[in-house]
Each structure stands twice: as structure tokens, then as C-alpha cells.
A and B are shown apart, each in its own frame.
Chain A
Amino acid sequence: MFKNLINIIFAFLLFVIIIIALWKNISNNNQDDSVGKRFAPPEISLKQILPLGTDDNGNDYLVKFSTAFQYNLYVSFITTAIFTVISIILGLGIGFQTKNLSKNQNILFLNRLKNLYFTFCSSITDVFQSIPILIVLLLGVLFFQRYLDNPDHSLFFTLVVVAVFSSPKLSNALGNHIKQLNREEFILATKASGVSMPALIVKHILYYEAKGLIVLQFINFFFFTIMLEIFLGFFGKGAGELSIGRLIGKDKILYGIDWQYLPTDQYKLILVFPLLFVLILCLVTRWLAKRVMLLTEN
């Protein structure tokens, strides 16, 4: 009963997050429409829905927030897709690596190439694993901000580099999973039943056996990139577009002052909302990851 209640609450919160993400498309306001200036307060409530009121320029705050969140989702989705592809490529190399290849097997050029690929995957994963992501992030920011004039491009490529260096999170787990399947003679049995190698990898390993793992790491990394954008945006190194990091970083001076000096409650709401939203997003992501694990285990 208690678990069901928690699930219902989190499902509702997930629904609210989705609505917020889509609010820009649902609302009839644009990000730059000065709704607060065009309409007097009584008319706002009648003619337009402004759930979070307006910002200091009179724009619909929820539309603004939704635009920022959509940008975060967009960047995170692309970088997480890159992370997943690289991790799968490396994970397959780690998983299919065989330690004792006889000399006869090594004569063939294709086998040598395969060996090279396996060695490359395991060594590059070791290298990636030994470098803290924060250093990679910092290097990426410094490097791309010097080479690229557009801050959006700079952020994107920085996150791509982070995605590459974070790949061991999935590749190691996937590699170990394949090794486990190999020990259980799952791979041998599938091959014996006449399944081709591409079908074995895509359908039997990645889809039937490892989909839970891949989805779980996808969710985790997706959330991680949102956090990194907030981190960079907070220090003014984030995107040029409107993003959650920029929204939080823009008003950072206001948080330190005594709240009784803030002119209206609307100010307080605008300051607290992004932080509260990201906190809830943390918990919902965790719940979602747990649900995915449960569903795939069953």
C-alpha cells in the first residue's frame, strides 16, 4: 500500500515534469511575449494561464523555464545518445575479448584486427576510468571556449568529450555482462541454434539481455549532463541559449540577500522554483531508474 502510494506520487511528479517540459508548446504565450505588460492583472487570470506568473520583464515565467528545460533536454539527449553508442562499442570489445588465442587463430588478418579492437577497447576504458570527470570537464571547457566562438557549440562539444570519458560506466558493466553470458554458455547456445553474429549482438545480447542496463545508464547519464550544464551555467561557462544553469546562475547574487528585502513573493518564487525543480528531478530520476531495473528484472 505504502509502496503504491510512493509510486503514484512519483508518477504524478513525472507527469508534472513532462507538462513543464512541454509547456512552451501547450501555452499560447511565447518566451518574449510581455504578457504582464500587455494585460492588466485581473485580465491575466481570465484570458491567460500563467501558473508561475511573470518574470521581471513581464514574460510568462513557466514558458521561459520550459524553453530552458527543453534546451537542456535536447543537449542531454544528443550527448547521452553518443555516450550510449560509444559505450556499446567499447562494451562489446571488452565482453568478447578472449585471453587465450592460439597461434593458428592469429594467422588470419581478420582475427588480428579483432584482437586489436579488443585490446583497444579494454585499454581505452582503463585510461578513461582513471581520469576524474571534473578534470575532463574543465579541460573541455577551456579547450572549446578558446577554439569555438559560439558558447552553445562549446558546451555541446564539452559534453561530448565528457560522454566519451564517462563511457566506462556502461561499457564495463556491459562487458562484464557479456562475459557472464559467455560463462553461462548462452552465446555458444545461441550461435549453435543458427543465429547470425549481428542478430546475436543486437537482438539477443543488447535487446533481450542488456536492455535494462543500457536504459538505466542512459537515464543516469542523461541526468548527469543536465547537472553538468547547471554547474557550468552557474559559473557563466554554460550555453548561450536559455538554459536551467543560466536561469540559476543569472540570479545568484539575489539568493544571498535577506529575503525580506525582495519586493514581491513572485521574486521569491522565481528564485526557488529552478532549484526545487532540479531537486525533484533528482528524486524522480532515481525512482524511474529503479522502476526500469524492476521491470527488466521481471
Chain B
Amino acid sequence: MNGKSLPESRNNTVSPNDMLNFGKQTVKFVLSVIFSGFILYLILNEFNEIATLSGDAIHQDELFSEKVPKQGVERSGNDILNNTGKYFKWLCGFITGDYGKSPNSEKIIVFSVSDLANKADKIEIWPNYFHTISITLLAITIAFIISFVLNTLEIVRQTKKLEWIKTILNWLSSVHIIILGIILFLFFRDQIPVIAGIIMIAICSNAFYDLSALQANDLSTLYNKDFVIAARAWGDNIWKHMRRSLAIDGINQFSSVWIIIFTNTLIYEIICQKPGLGFLLFLHFLDSERGKLLFELDLFMTLTMFIIITIFMINYIKDITLDYLLYKRR
């Protein structure tokens, strides 16, 4: 480095167009959540109507018996309209924190319980949601850091000393979390340490491989761009020139891999019986002992709505950040 540096162009003014774009993204986010929730509600309402013909609750074994015809629900032209009304009523309840209750255990679904004495008759969402999201974020961070260090050493520093670690991780990545989770659960039951779970989530089901390949490709392209070559020739600090592009690439990499890692987290919680949204889904919908119980529409809607909001929120943040990086700082 010779102490000189190439100029960086900056423009920090916020134009009306930026504000309009921000507004557009927000409207898109809200409408996407409402629309996805509506479609889900229409599908789930089918279960509920079949399981509770004319409002009378029946059990699943009765549902499949000959006494109750499966096509017993009469459909009218106003069905969609009625369901739309019901959905918006449910959505208003959801926004105000009224998530409904379980028809089987009569437990009320709440966001969080502050009073420990009331915990037994409530289903809490927040602790499970927090657990799932924090594990997902930790796993993404670990995968991202390891992959970035290994790719930087290989592409920027041009060293092949640690290539074997990348190769091993890539091979481990091909093992699916379902089979690894089942193996760990079968032999260790619920004694699996959380850190082992996080590493498993970060690497398995091609999560690490996909991230690493994408990152290597982006980094290699960026490193060979004219302005980086010019900075290298000038003897300037290349990271200073690469950081904006790295941030943009990083956001794209994060958004492309996060859904794999989020799904991995849910699978890990289901198979290894760890607290989280996945475990709630298992406990109330997948457990084979629940075959004779009623379908818990409110709980399923609440859980999936939280998942939908998280997905669209991540996309929303990604779009906003990309807009900021691509236009405002150009």
C-alpha cells in the first residue's frame, strides 16, 4: 500500500423517489402477508368445516365412519365471501393478540405469558418463535463466517492450505438434516447439545454447499472486476472498494440460503424434539397419538402466519437494504 487511495463517490441525499420506493415495498410486504394468510385460511377452513360439520365438533374416527358422509358440507356461492369475512375477523384478532384457543385442550394461544401461574393453561408462541429465529440466525452467521473466511483465503489470498476444510464441509453438506437428525435423535434422544444442532443446521441439506458455491462465484467475479484490479495495481486497500458490492452480494446470498436454514431449523426441532415453532407443529399436528383429536385451526393459522410474516419481513428488509445500497449510495 502506498498511502494513496482511489476516490469513492458518495451522495447521501434522500430523494422523493426513494421515499416512494420505500412506501411501495411496505405496501407490497403488507399485501403479501394478507394475501398469503387468506389463501392459507381458505385451505385450512376446509379441514375445519369437514371436522365440524354444521358447527358440531366430531372426531376424526367419526369423520371417516359411514355415518358421516364426507361430502356432507353444502357449498354455496357465498362461501368465499363468508370465508373472506371470517378471515378478516381472524386477522383483526391476530393483530390485537387474540390468537384463539385449542379445541382439544381448551388452552388459550397467547404471544407470551408473564405470570408463571397461568402458564399451564396457555400455549405460548413468543418463546418458541424466539428460539427458532435465534437458532436460524446463529446457524446462518456461522455458515456465512466459515464460508467467507474459506473463500477469501482461496480467492483473495490465493492460498490453498485450507481447501481441504472446504472440501470436507462440502461433502458433509450433502448429508440431509432429516437422516442426520434421525440418527442423532435415535442414539442420543433429547441429550443432543444445542451447538451440535446449530452446526447441523448450518451445514446439512446442502445449506453450506449452496452458500459457499454462491459466495465463491460472487467473490471471484468481484475480485476480477476492473475497479478492484485498478485498486490492486494502485496498491490501495481493496476491501474499501469491495465492501459495497460485498454487502449487496451478502444480502443476496443471505436471502437465497436463509429459507433452507429456516426449514432445517424446523426439521431439527421436529426430529430432535427441541423447543421452537417446529416442535409446536410436531406436538399439535404430526404426533401420531393425536390422530383422534380435532384439527387445531387457530394454532396452525397462528404458527404459519408467524412463519409467513418472517419470510416476507426478510424479503422486505432485503429489498429495502438493496434499494439503499444500489441507489442512495451510488
Q: Which residues of A pack against B, CB within 8 Å?
A: 130-135, 138-139, 141-143, 146-147, 149, 220, 223-224, 227-228, 230-231, 234-237, 248, 252, 255-256, 275, 278-279, 282-283, 285-286
Contact = CB atoms under 8 A, between A and B. Distances in A.
Interface string B104-139: 000000000000000000000000000000000000
A230 B182 contact: yes
Contacts of A282: 174-176, 179
B208 to A, nearest CB: 12
B207 interface: no
Given A130-B312, A237-B286, A142 B266 contact: no
A177 to B, nearest CB: 15
B83 interface: no
Given A227-B176, A230-B178, A286-B171, A255 B187 contact: yes
A231 B178 contact: yes
Contacts of A278: 179
Interface string B259-277: 1001100110001000000
Contacts of B60: 146
A185 to B, nearest CB: 22
A218 to B, nearest CB: 15
B140 interface: no
A134 B312 contact: no
A139 B46 CA distance: 12
Contacts of B36: 130-131
B186 A252 contact: yes
Contact of B179 (A134, A142, A236, A279): A279
Given A131-B311, A227-B176, A227-B179, 12 more contacts: A134-B266, A138-B281, A146-B50, A146-B51, A146-B63, A224-B176, A230-B179, A255-B186, A275-B179, A279-B175, A282-B176, A283-B171
A283 B271 CA distance: 21
Contacts of B263: 132-134
B175 A132 contact: no
Is the contact region of chain A dominated by helix, strand, or loop, or is it mixed? helix
Contacts of B43: 139, 143
Q: Determine the interface band of chain B, counting residues with CB < 8 A from chain A.
A: 35 or more
A285 B175 CA distance: 10
Contacts of B287: 235
A149 B65 CA distance: 11
A134 B259 CA distance: 10
Contacts of A130: 32, 36, 311-312, 315
B186 A256 contact: yes
B307 interface: yes
B295 interface: yes
B231 to A, nearest CB: 28
A32 B176 CA distance: 32
Nearest to A277: B179
Contacts of B88: none
Contacts of A132: 259, 262-263, 266, 307, 311
Contacts of B227: none
A229 to B, nearest CB: 10
A147 B70 contact: yes
A149 B61 CA distance: 11
A14 to B, nearest CB: 14
A278 B182 CA distance: 11
A143 B47 contact: yes
A283 B286 contact: no
B13 interface: no
Contacts of A248: 182
A149 B63 CA distance: 11
Interface in B181-218: 182-183, 186-187, 189, 206
B327 interface: no
A198 B275 CA distance: 53
Sorted nearest first, the 4 A-B pairs with minimum C-beta distance are A286-B174, A255-B186, A236-B288, A227-B178
9 contacts: A130-B36, A131-B308, A132-B307, A134-B267, A138-B281, A139-B43, A149-B64, A248-B182, A279-B175
Contact of B307 (A135, A227, A230): A135
A133 B259 CA distance: 9
